[in-house]
Amino acid sequence: MPVKGGSASGGKNKILKFPKGFLWGAGTSSHQVEGNIENDWTEWESGNAKRKVKEAKKKNWPDFILKKYPNPLQEENYISGRACDHYKRFEADFNIVKELGHNAHKFSIEWSRIEPEEGKFKKRELEHYAEIIRSLNKKGIEPFVVLWHWGNPKWIGKIGAWENKKTIDYFIRYVERLIKYPGIGDSVKFWMPLNEFQAYIGYSYLGGILPPQKKSLWKADKVLLNLVDAQKKAYKLIHKQTTKRVLVGASHHATHHAPFNPRNFLNVLFVKLLDYIKKDRIINMIGSCQDFIGLQVYRHERIRFWPGGRYGIAKIDNEKMESSDMGWEIYPKGIYHTLKYLRKFNLPIYITENGIADARDKKRAKFIKDHLYWAHKAIQENADVRGYLYWSLMDNLELAEGFWPRFGLVEMDYKTMGRKIRPSAREYAKICKSNSLSL
């Protein structure tokens, strides 16, 4: 039975079976793993690196973080560079995916590679992504294809990116070129046009942490409307142009919020307000232009009234529970509450990101198992959950923090580009291969 904090425990040899056809895997994104990308983010990285190092020097870092390369006190930590060199090594990486028993994999196509100049599409790059899809399909691994994971071609950045309505038309033209290319549009079942509207807007236009670093509620709302419009148009285009049956989902970042004091009216009110803004509003805006919800969930936040706090009128005030290397509280039961909350939208749910920064690999296996325990409980209570994709396949560039957070099932040596499968990945592989969780 679950214990305080949401961890899973139980009797000997208790087996939790997942539904037949359940998809298991992990994910990557182009900017974070491919290497040698030139987009609007790479222009920003070099200047940002000096600022981030300056900020990092004010913190006390544990030795196990500082002994890794790169670490938060080094500028190269914040510059994508060759990243994981996945662009060249994808075949070997997918061999690891196959070895670990995954039957699905989420990745993104880099728009800046396909269309580095306005209207000039690179056939060589289109063929590269077609080859990635062929490689996955040959190995029996279902591709989940994301068409935009926050980075833009430089020319899109120069016109204001998603602040400019013209970007919607340019994006749809790019999507059309992709899905008409042999080996791409006719070979993918699961499409996710845009990655995490909420997180992108929160980091870039509310928090001012990521490019374009503009704190503006007006611009945030404008960007949201344009992204929703792009999602709808991409949905209709993909369904119209592809010959096989496809599913086009929307990617939603959904933090579980709970009132710090459930008996405090303001605490409860602020939680409901945050859930509406960060979950209901966007899902309802997209409406019927989503065949499934791609749930991306990492965190749990307890909210209480606190003028001047993170949300202006509220404050995150978590209990001192066990946390990740990034200080995120580990509360697996949060995924259960989130899945139950999302049932009302009557859409299939694929958990397309859930993971932990854990450089020493001491907590990852338990993190995965505990989250799957609660996901299974939600399934038993009629949540239509059909897959789980851990974030991430390998250590990578975490966009706000750089390379130092280690989320990967596979450990990266950034000096040699060596890969090493972590013990937690082997534990997860047992679940993937058996379609069940042994308690």
- Supply the angle between the helices 166-179 and 123-138 in degrees, to the nearest 10: 60
Instruction: Read off the pLDDT of residues 117-155 as tens digits, 9 standing for 90 and up.
Output: 999 999 999 999 999 999 999 999 999 999 999 999 999
Cα–Cα dist 228/74, whole Å: 37
Q: Are 134 and 140 in contact (CB under 8 A)?
A: no
CA 9 to chain centre: 28
Task: Give the global pTM.
Answer: 0.95
In degrees rounded to 5, what are phi and psi of residue 300? Answer: -135, 135
CA distance 219 to 226: 11
Characterize 209-234 residue by residue with b for buried, 16 or more Cβ atoms within 10 angstroms of its Cβ, and e for exposed: ebbbeeeeeebbebbbebbbbbbbbb
Pairing of strands 256-259, 293-296: unpaired
**What order do you get walking across the sheet with 256-259 strand by strand?**
256-259, 300-305, 314-316
The pLDDT, as a whole number, for residue 321 is 76
| CATH of span 1-19+250-439 | 3.20.20.80
When mean pLDDT is compared across 254-263, 282-291, 323-332, the lowest value belongs to: 254-263
Distance from C-alpha of 271 to C-alpha of 260, rounded to nearest angstrom:
9
- Is 60 exceeded by the pLDDT of residue 4? no
For the chain, the farthest-separated pair of C-alpha atoms sits apart, in whole angstroms, at 61
Please tell me which residue, 270 or 13, carries the higher pLDDT value.
270
Query: Stretch 26-39: mean pLDDT, rounded?
Result: 98
Q: Give phi and psi for 259, each to the nearest 5.
A: -70, 135
The structure tokens 């706090």 sit at 309
How many Cα atoms sit within 13 Å of 230 on the Cβ side? 29
User: How far apart are alpha carbons 110 and 114 in whole angstroms?
Assistant: 7
Of residues 264 and 306, which shows the higher confidence score? 264
> What pLDDT score was predicted for residue 205?
95
243-265 pLDDT, tens digit per residue, is 778 999 999 999 899 888 889 88
Q: Is the pLDDT of residue 375 over 80?
A: yes
